[in-house]
Homo-oligomer: A and B are copies of this chain.
Amino acid sequence: MDITFGVDVGGTKIAAGVVDEKGEILHETREETPRDSDEIASIVAMMYENAAQKYPEISAIGVGVPGLVSQNRTDIDFTANVNWRNYPLGKIVSESINDAVPVYVENDANSAGWAEFKFGVAKDARDMMMVTVGTGLGGAIVIDNKLIRGRWGSAAEFGHMRLVPHGINCACGLRGCFEQYVSGSAMTRQAKMRAVQEPENAQILLKYADSDVNNITGPLIGRAANEGDPLSIHIIQDTGRWLGEGCASLAALLDTEVIVIGGGVADHGDALLDPARVAFSAHLTMRGYRKEPKLVRAEFGNKAGIVGAAMLAREK
């Protein structure tokens, strides 16, 4: 049996699993993400070694990280939240495990997208874009059954396509980036501001937040919306509208069969996707004279990162 080891390095957890060639996770473990980012490599190495005792046939490691990964698939050029700049994560892990197996580093949205393409909602398609909406907004592009990493590894940074000239300031230094309109952070920021300004529309949300806007989170917005909180409903709809408009621009550039919406924010389901689909159709150029990609929700859930990273480690 051909198996690989997939790791998903997140902001709070490092999740890892032993994955077979059908994308099944045979064994899974989790660790807290350490405060000191220099310790991440040794934790990954340790997780692999524990797994390798039980599964000595593991042939490669794939590590998914948030950030720009170099085209050599071992260095990290830049991460926004972890302080990595030109950081040779792959090499450090390799050394820690005495080069027992090859180590490949991937962008986490690419990993999640690859899982979705191989085994998820896009498994019957030949090409796809995936928009992963979590804390930020990431993406993956597959064309002719190949993941498109770009010349230097930074393709599919959908989150930094500009939606609005002179728009909201982005942590990347620019203004008006897609992820400032569609992301978990954007939603909670809006909810906090507006709950102060129009508390009469946010009574349910404020109840869940114990009357303190600082307690507002994405899941609370979802719960409040389900119970009819007008502000929460509006924020989800508004996010959906921007999502659809942004995807319409993507579809003008890359005419893929399907556009998959994943990430934690996609858990809002049709409350998010219905307004996204309406806006997508309304803003699709030459509509009526072209076939329209479908906007569908990812199926794979939060294991996509592990499985995708493991599967990509098979591709040389």
**Which residues does A use to contact B, with CB under 8 Å?**
68, 77-78, 85-86, 126-127, 139, 141, 143-144, 146, 148-170, 172-177, 181, 189-190, 193-194, 196-198, 245, 248-250, 252-257, 283, 285-291, 293
Contacts A144-B146, A255-B154 known; A290 to B78 CB distance under 8 Å? yes
Assembled-state Cα–Cα distance A146/B148 (Å): 12
Give A172 to B248 CA distance when docked, in angstroms: 13
| Contact of B157 with A253 in the complex, beta carbons under 8 Å | yes
- Contacting residues, chain B, for A248 (C-beta < 8 A): 162
8 A-B pairs besides A157-B255, A168-B168 with CB distance below 8 A are A86-B289, A126-B151, A149-B255, A154-B290, A162-B248, A166-B176, A168-B175, A172-B285
Chain B residues, Cβ within 8 Å of A155: 253-255
Contact B169 A166 (CB under 8 A): no
B174 with A285: CB separation less than 8 A: yes
| Residue with the highest number of chain B CB atoms closer than 10 Å, among A159, A253, A257 | A253
- A157 in contact with B189 (CB, 8 Å): no
Smallest CB separation, A129 vs chain B (Å): 9
Given that A68-B290, A252-B158, A290-B78 are contacting pairs, would A173 and B196 also be in contact in the complex, using a CB cutoff of 8 Å?
yes
Quick check: A177 and B78 within 8 Å, CB to CB? Answer: no
9 pairs of residues in contact across A and B, judged by CB atoms under 8 Å: A68-B289, A68-B290, A78-B286, A152-B255, A158-B253, A163-B166, A173-B197, A174-B285, A254-B254
Tell me which residues across on chain B come within 8 A of A253, comparing CB atoms. 139, 141, 155-158, 161, 250, 253-254
